[in-house]
Structure 1
Amino acid sequence: MMRRLALLATILVTIPLAACQDDAAPSSVTPLSNGPPPVILISIDGFRPDYLHRGDTPTLDHLAETGVSGAMRPAFPSVTFPNHTTLVTGLTPDHHGIVSNTMRDPAIPGETFSVGKRTGLNDPRWWAGSEPVWITAEAHGLRTATMFWPGSEVPFHGLRPHDWRAFDPQVTPQERVDQVLAWFRRPGNARPAFTTLYFDGVDHAGHKYGPDSAAVRRAARKVDDAIGALVAGLGDEGVTPDLIIVSDHGMTAISPKRVIPLTDLAPADDMEIVTSGAYAGLDPRPGHEHALATALARPHAHVQCWPKSRIPARFAYGQNPRVPAFLCLAQTGWMLTAPGAHPPSGGTHGYDNADPAMAALFIGHGPAFASDKTIPEFDNVDIYPLTMELLGLMPLPDDGTVTPFAPYLRGVYANF
Structure 2
Amino acid sequence: SHPHWWNHAEPVWVTAEKNGLRTGMYWWDGCQVEIRGVKPSKCVPYRDYWQWPTVENDTKAALSEIVEKFKQNTLDFALVYYEAVDAEGHGSGPDSMERRGALKSADNVIKHLLDEARRQNIRDQLSLIVVSDHGMTDTRPGKFELIDIEPHIDANDIHSMLDGGSFAMLRPNPDKIEKVYAKLKSLNVKGLNVFKKEEVPELYHLKETYLTQPIVLTADPGYQIKKLQETEKQVPKSNRIYNGNHGYDPMKLEDMRAIFLATGPGLKQGFLNGPVRMVDHYNVICRQLGIQPLQNSGNQESVQGMFVGGASGSSPVASLSVLVVPNILLAARAYLYH
Q: TM-score, normalised by structure 1?
A: 0.67
Classify the secondary structure of the residue corresponding to 1:269: helix
Gaps of 5+ in 1: 1-121
Q: Establish whether residue 373 from structure 1 lines up as the match of residue 242 from structure 2.
A: no
* Superposition RMSD in Å: 2.0
**Aligned counterpart, 2:319:** none
Distance 1:208 1:147, change over 3 A: same
Question: Which residue among 161, 167, 183 is the counterpart of 1:295?
Answer: 183
**Aligned counterpart, 2:33:** 154
Residue 201 of structure 1 aligns with an amino acid whose one-letter code is A
Residue 149 of structure 2 aligns with an amino acid whose one-letter code is L
**Aligned counterpart, 1:127:** 6
Gaps of 5+ in 2: 230-237, 315-338
Distance 1:345 1:178, change over 3 A: closer
**Aligned counterpart, 1:43:** none
**Aligned counterpart, 2:216:** 327
Question: Which residue among 386, 395, 415 is the counterpart of 2:293?
Answer: 395
Residue 279 of structure 1 aligns with an amino acid whose one-letter code is F
Is the CA contact (8 Å cut-off) linking 2:29 and 2:45 kept in structure 1?
no
Distance 1:345 1:394, change over 3 A: closer
Q: Deviations over 1:354-395 (max 9, x none)?
A: 331111121111112212222222111010011001111111
Residue 399 of structure 1 aligns with an amino acid whose one-letter code is S
Q: 2:70, 2:101 → 1: CA distance? A: 36
Distance 1:229 1:411, change over 3 A: farther
Question: Which residue among 126, 129, 133 is the counterpart of 1:248?
Answer: 133
Q: 1:393, 1:215 → 2: CA distance? A: 40
Q: How does 1:214-233 map to 2 (within 5 A)?
A: 214-233=97-116
Which stretch shifts more, 186-195 or 350-359? 186-195
Q: 1:286, 1:401 → 2: CA distance? A: 38
**Deviation of 1:209 (Å):** 1.2
**Deviation of 1:265 (Å):** 5.0
Number of residue equivalences:
295
Distance 1:149 1:333, change over 3 A: farther
**Aligned counterpart, 1:237:** 120
Q: Percent identity?
A: 26
Q: TM-score, normalised by structure 2?
A: 0.81
Q: Establish whether residue 407 from structure 1 lines up as the match of residue 305 from structure 2.
A: yes
Which stretch shifts more, 403-412 or 322-331? 403-412
Classify the secondary structure of the residue corresponding to 1:179: helix
**Aligned counterpart, 2:247:** 350
Distance 1:264 1:241, change over 3 A: farther
Is the CA contact (8 Å cut-off) linking 1:378 and 1:404 kept in structure 2?
yes
Q: Deviations over 1:328-374 (max 9, x none)?
A: 10012321112336563511111113331111121111112212222
Question: Which residue among 141, 161, 166 is the counterpart of 1:278?
Answer: 166
Classify the secondary structure of the residue corresponding to 2:30: coil
Q: 1:264, 1:374 → 2: CA distance? A: 50
Q: 1:150, 1:413 → 2: CA distance? A: 33
Q: 2:217, 2:149 → 1: CA distance? A: 9
Distance 1:285 1:412, change over 3 A: closer
**Deviation of 1:399 (Å):** 0.4
**Aligned counterpart, 1:84:** none
**Deviation of 1:325 (Å):** 0.5
**Deviation of 1:262 (Å):** 2.4
Q: Deviations over 1:126-170 (max 9, x none)?
A: 111111111111111111111222322211133211122011232
Q: 2:95, 2:161 → 1: CA distance? A: 31
**Deviation of 1:411 (Å):** 5.9
Q: 2:75, 2:157 → 1: CA distance? A: 52
Question: Which residue among 313, 316, 320 is the counterpart of 2:205?
Answer: 316
**Aligned counterpart, 2:16:** 137
Is the CA contact (8 Å cut-off) linking 2:89 and 2:244 kept in structure 1?
yes
